[in-house]
């Protein structure tokens, strides 16, 4: 999976979005993240692994605690990508509008300035 | 320039594009369906467009190839199901290698407005999964609204 697909796939899950929302307030350990959810530590760990693989969070290397941290630049990449494609779509229609304007001008010339 | 809106609602199996033209439906329809013009507006900096076939009549086939700068080709094709110039066009669309999105039914309507006309293009997929599969990798926007809503939710909290 390419990085952006991984990001969007990771964001598609409500629990993972809730985890990200919690991490937006600051780093947290697995135990702290498990607390508000009706879930096992293993289940939360699994979600954290998906978020880490998607580049949305980074995790400390202290084996016992491994606090998770939100990587805001990854969210920026996702937003940029959406904006890029949205812009590409607009550009296409702007290009079509220009072609139509050109067509109109040509036809106007034919109509009003016939070749003699 | 007219305005363009792209609507990708979460959980639905369609993608809707709305564009307001500043010309009447007759002219907009003619330009939109002119294969000679397509290479000049359907491509982008990243993709060149070549129209292979464009038989604009009921049962007629169309085929175009989008080519990326590195030479990778993305051929797509379909059949026109209804051609009611200048108001309505119904066609199918699919990637030739059976790519993302599988088969789409595309209904395009041109309605007169006080300033010109409005094109509403509805691409209907067989399932939400097909739609979501098409949106990120098809060169269109990713599940734009869905994803933006998710991002908003995360960033607002």
Contacts of A96 in chain B (CB under 8 A): 31-32, 37, 41
The pLDDT tens digits of the residues spanning A61-114 come to 765 567 778 777 766 666 655 565 566 778 888 999 999 998 888 776 554 433
Cβ partners under 8 Å of residue B76, min gap 6: B63, B64, B65, B66, B93, B94, B95, B96
State the DSSP code for B45: S
What ipTM did this prediction achieve? 0.73
The pLDDT tens digits of the residues spanning B86-120 come to 999 999 999 887 666 689 999 999 999 999 999 99
Q: Residue A46, exposed/middle/buried by CB under 10 A (0-12, 13-18, 19+)?
A: middle
Residue-level pLDDT at A81: 52
DSSP string, A65-105: T--EEE-HHHHHHHHHHHHHHHHHHHHHHHHHHHHHHHHHH
Place of tokens 């030479």: B71
Least CB–CB distance from B41: residue in A17, A85, A99: A99
* Contact state of B151 with A78 under an 8 Å Cβ cutoff: yes
Percent pLDDT > 90 in chain B is 46
> Are residues B41 and A92 in contact, defined by beta-carbon separation less than 8 angstroms?
yes
Mean pLDDT, chain B, whole residue set? 82
- pLDDT higher than 60, residue B25: yes
Least CB–CB distance from A75: residue in B136, B140, B154: B154
Residue-level pLDDT at A80: 59
> Are residues B28 and B20 in contact, defined by beta-carbon separation less than 8 angstroms?
no
- Suggest the residue from B37, B38, B86, B151 to mutate for an interface test with chain A (most A CBs closer than 10 A): B151
Reported as a pLDDT band with limits 50, 70 and 90, residue B126 is very high
């Amino acid at each position: 999976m390419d990085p952006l697909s991984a990001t969007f796939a990771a964001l598609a899950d409500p629990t993972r979005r809730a985890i990200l929302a919690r991490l937006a307030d600051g780093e947290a350990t697995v135990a702290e993240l498990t607390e508000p959810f009706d879930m096992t530590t293993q289940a939360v760990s699994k979600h954290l692994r998906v978020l880490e693989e998607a580049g949305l969070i980074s995790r400390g290397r202290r084996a016992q605690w491994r606090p998770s941290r939100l990587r805001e630049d990854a969210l920026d990449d996702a937003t940029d990508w959406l904006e890029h494609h949205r812009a590409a779509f607009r550009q296409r229609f702007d290009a079509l509008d220009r072609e139509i304007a050109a067509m109109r001008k040509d036809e106007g010339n034919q109509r009003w300035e016939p070749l003699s | 320039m007219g305005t363009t809106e792209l609507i990708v609602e979460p959980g639905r199996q369609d993608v809707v594009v709305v564009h307001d033209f500043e010309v009447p439906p007759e002219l907009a329809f003619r330009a939109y369906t002119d294969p000679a013009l397509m290479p000049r507006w359907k491509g982008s900096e990243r993709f060149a467009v070549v129209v292979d076939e464009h038989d604009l009549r009921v049962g007629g086939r169309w085929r175009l190839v989008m080519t990326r700068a590195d030479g990778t080709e993305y051929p797509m094709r379909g059949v026109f199901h209804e051609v009611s110039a200048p108001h309505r066009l119904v066609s199918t669309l699919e990637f030739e290698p059976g790519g993302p999105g599988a088969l789409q039914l595309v209904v395009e309507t041109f309605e007169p407005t006080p300033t010109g006309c409005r094109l509403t293009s509805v691409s209907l997929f067989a399932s939400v999964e097909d739609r979501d599969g098409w949106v990120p990798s098809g060169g269109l926007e990713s599940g734009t609204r869905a994803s933006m809503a998710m991002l908003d939710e995360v960033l607002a909290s």
